[in-house]
Amino acid sequence: METKLFYSLRVLLLPVVLLAIGSVQAQVLNAPVAAPNQTPPPGSTPWNRACASSSFNDYWVRFTWNPPMVNTDNEFILELSDADGNFGSPVELARDGSKNLVFDFYMQFQVPADTRGENYRLRVRSTSPAVTGPASDPYPMYYISVNTGLTIRPQGQADFGDGTAQVCDGNSITLEVYGLANADSYTYNWYRSGTLLAEKSESITVSTSGMYNVEIDYGACSGSGNTLSNLIDVTAGSSLGIAINPPAKTDLCSGETVDLEANINNPSLTYTWYKDGAVIPSSNNYIYTVDASSPGFEGEYQVEIFGPGACVERSAGVTITNAGDFTVTRDNAASVVLLPGQNTTLSVSTDASSPTYQWYRDGSPVAGATSPSLVVSDTETGTYFARVTLSGGACTSTSVDSETTEVVTPDSFELIVDYATSYTACESTSVALEVVTINALDSGGNRTDVTSSVINDFSYQWKKDGVDVGGANSSLISLTDASENGAYTLDGTISSYASTSNSLTVQLLVNETLTISSTGTVTCGPSEPITISTTTDLTSETFSWFRNNSDMGVSTPELSVTEAGTYQLVLMRNGCPLSSNEIVITPLDENLITLDPGENIVFPQGSSRTVTASGGSSYRWLDSNNNEMSTGSSMTFTSEGQFVLIAEVGNCQVIRNISVSYLDTFRVPNVITVNGDGVNDQWIIPNSYSNKSDVNVIIYNEKGEEVLNEFSYQNNWPSSSVNFPRQNMVFFYKIRNGGEVLKQGTITVIR
């Protein structure tokens, strides 16, 4: 008897001894190694450098470790060193608390956005017990935040230009990266004609000819960055001192010419002439001739040269002026309308000295018309201008013509009216109409715009729907009320002429607010209709009810609804639709009512549990006999049973069934005896864990392999067919509900 008792005690103490030994020995954590991508479908080749970006950042390592076992609350943490491989301030990349029984697994991570270097290392540490594994081999790792081509330019230049730059007379220029945010936070690879240079900053000073470009230095990942910039062709040369020889004269009369000559005549050079900073086409010659007979010849002239060994160089400017330059101003309107028996005076003014004048009608001189003004009668219609000529000075006989004047006698007039203010039919609440154009029409129907000369001479009468509008006798009318809606025209008279304008339709929105209200906003279905109505009297009115912007075809003053949707009333006022506010009816969402801690309540017998409801406007708690227990938002239960909560949401009811039961008081066993005697042959756990569809029971063997993984555990492990090859085998178990571990420990099997 003593021997059997001692044996039983030794068996019961075995798990404790094993755990004690595990706490003395340290876990062996191995260095993580780069692994193929495990995202389905998994890859086959491990990565040797991490070139991450916003479009791809998915990397994996393989991690192995050796027992003894870690504690149940342990987490494995993957860490990243700095760019030199130091772990003084490691960066956490990933952590996993679900692999405490798995000795060989993969960990997924993303490269941090500030990662750029060739010697990053990885390591894994555990938290319980706290053990830090060795560092991995070094890896190049870069986050490619910029993956498009850069742009470079000569420093300070407004734009890229033609992709060329010059170094003159032994000087240097600076090329820079531009248009890149935080450009100084990167290092760069600069190239001259394909040769890598030593400079690493965002700019470089050069004095040697060559084709220059740059890329961001992403080390082993530079090829993946695609940041190589445009090319700038830098050439070296000397300044030749280009200038324009002093011309024979710089003040020209009409018809005169003068040659501008560069001080260097070299056939190997390219010459480009400029006037007022703009290139003169087809001017590649060291001489350029200015012709004063060409309009606008006046201005500043320069010449630019370029050629082998020579820098691009532009001369100082030479200004050419017009010696016969003077102005002529037309002093009357561009168009003049003469009614029968009327005449008008045309006139011009000038700043010329000692001028002479000649008036022209339809291109022919008017006999005797040699003064600054000319009187024209209604029988002398046509196109007039005055020619002003210099009678002395350096440029005698130089002439300037005035602008033309159209003198017409109309066959009729055309009035055109338009909206004078912003207007949208049935949206605007006010508008103004006005005359915008008055055309004089000849017998052939040809139009001449004479608005400015006659608009104030007309007499006006506005009409609405063909009826005179009282007091509306100007060229403009303002409308501010929907009662003024209609079709408007304007009658105009002048002398013996009468004209009626085009028609403009005015539809102003009534200045009225249409409001609807409802008896509720949550629909409970056909049994509880909601009424939508308005205080506006709809008697004898034309109106429509809309649901979700569709006409419902209902013509009753009140609307009874049982469906969810957006409802609106539209009333016709003076030919325009007047829309009400919108009322949104939503379906009843029973999930609005929540119970804390839930609908299935378990507590030890002799204690109590309080359940709190939220989301409703009122509550009723009933027992199984429909007796009301409480009307508050909380209810404290002290006994088992089935209960009902009735919650009001708006005008709807939500019903919740609540089950209350006592908690089992016996514990999860850690020893079973599978000797077939019918006693303790199987692992029986409390009914708060067994037969529960939301409770997951998992059993592992000493190797960490699952031997059972079930929901709704039936208290039937091990089955009669399970063979235990050794005496006193130890298993591990976890009881979970979702992500929460309810219980965990060991099971010793004695056979």
Q: Is the pLDDT of residue 341 over 50?
A: yes
Q: In terms of Cα–Cα distance, which of 179, 184, 192 is closest to 150?
A: 179
Measured CA to CA in angstroms, residue 105 lies from 36, 38, 50, 92, 98 at distances of 12, 11, 20, 18, 11
Q: Is the dihedral of CA 101, 103, 109, 112 positive or negative?
A: positive
Write the pLDDT tens digit of every residue in 41-83: 889 999 999 999 999 999 999 999 998 889 999 999 999 999 9
Please tell me the distance from the alpha carbon of residue 323 to that of residue 327, in angstroms, as a whole number: 13
Q: In terms of Cα–Cα distance, which of 227, 209, 226 is closest to 168?
A: 209
Please tell me the distance from the alpha carbon of residue 63 to that of residue 59, in angstroms, as a whole number: 13
Confidence of residue 461 (pLDDT cuts 50, 70, 90): very high
Please tell me the distance from the alpha carbon of residue 701 to that of residue 722, in angstroms, as a whole number: 13
DSSP state of 262: B
Write the pLDDT tens digit of every residue in 95-123: 999 999 999 999 999 999 999 999 999 99
Q: What is the pLDDT of residue 664?
A: 66
542 token code pair: 């034309």
Q: For residues 196-225, give the mean pLDDT.
A: 93
Q: What is the pLDDT of residue 346?
A: 97
Q: Is the pLDDT of residue 339 over 80?
A: yes
Q: What is the pLDDT of residue 156?
A: 80
Confidence of residue 665 (pLDDT cuts 50, 70, 90): low
Q: For residues 350-377, give the mean pLDDT.
A: 94
176 token code pair: 């820079």
Average pLDDT, the chain: 90
- Residues with Cβ within 8 Å of 67's Cβ and at least 6 positions away in sequence, in order, are 22, 27, 103
Q: For residues 164-192, give the mean pLDDT.
A: 92
Please tell me the distance from the alpha carbon of residue 75 to that of residue 90, in angstroms, as a whole number: 16
Please tell me the distance from the alpha carbon of residue 341 to that of residue 377, in angstroms, as a whole number: 8
Q: For residues 168-192, give the mean pLDDT.
A: 93
Q: What is the pLDDT of residue 343?
A: 92
Write the pLDDT tens digit of every residue in 372-425: 999 999 889 999 999 999 887 778 878 889 999 999 889 999 999 999 999 999
> Strand, coil or helix: what is 599?
coil
Please tell me the distance from the alpha carbon of residue 689 to that of residue 147, in angstroms, as a whole number: 55
Q: For residues 646-651, give the mean pLDDT.
A: 86
Q: In terms of Cα–Cα distance, which of 185, 107, 108 is closest to 146?
A: 185
